[in-house]
Amino acid sequence: MKTLVSYSTLTGNTKMVAKSIFDIIKGEKELICLNENNNIDTDKFDTVIVGYWVDKGDIDKLAKTFIKSLKNKNLAVFGTLGAEPESDHGKKVSAKVDRFCAKNNKYSGGFMCQGKVDPKLIEKMKKFPLNIVHPLNPERLARLEEAKKHPDEYDLKNAQKYFSKLLYNEDI
């Protein structure tokens, strides 16, 4: 049984989580960045783990296209997002991700953690039209400030714990 840990990333948060998960994978394994390699021979893998970053409430395009190409795999995912995973937004995204991933594969679940938001996006939020759609009110500013610390050691450990339990039924 060979396991693929793949991920899509813009600013490196999802890469950090991918590396952490990759460390606890047993047996034959490969770590592939989807931004660098979009021609993966998925026949080699029976278990595929896909990391994505949340883009406008959904799985980013690169990861989504890759997930769409998978059939009958043991599939699990992980994602990073600016919001807190337990927020309404986080829960909505998580439910949407679950629905999408369960379509053509043996989907076993997904892990999420917060990730710092690209400062370029924060600059855009100060200007029209994002200043109307996503005003930088005190709540959002506090969330963005908190997100700056993530993924932290705790998130990386939690990701390992999640996948250890999911794949091997082991508590670490």
Ligand X SMILES: Cc1cc2nc3c(=O)[nH]c(=O)nc-3n(C[C@H](O)[C@H](O)[C@H](O)COP(=O)(O)O)c2cc1C
What is the closest distance, in whole angstroms, from the C-beta atom of residue 17 to ligand X in the complex?
Answer: 8
Query: Of the listed pieces 9-17, 19-27, 103-111, 152-160, which binds ligand X according to CB under 6 A?
Result: 9-17
Q: Which residue has the tokens 């053509």?
A: 104
108 within 8 A of 75, measured Cβ to Cβ: yes
What is the closest distance, in whole angstroms, from the C-beta atom of residue 3 to ligand X in the complex?
Answer: 21
Subset of 100-129 contacting ligand X (CB under 6 A): 115-118, 121
Nearest to 16 by CA among 143, 157, 140: 157
Count residues near ligand X (CB under 6 A).
21
Nearest to 152 by CA among 12, 17, 9: 17
Subset of 34-93 contacting ligand X (CB under 6 A): 53-57, 80-83, 89
Write the CB contacts of 144 (distance below 8 Å, at least 6 apart in sequence).
Answer: 82, 117, 122, 136
Query: Where does this chain bind ligand X (CB under 6 A)?
Result: 9-14, 53-57, 80-83, 89, 115-118, 121
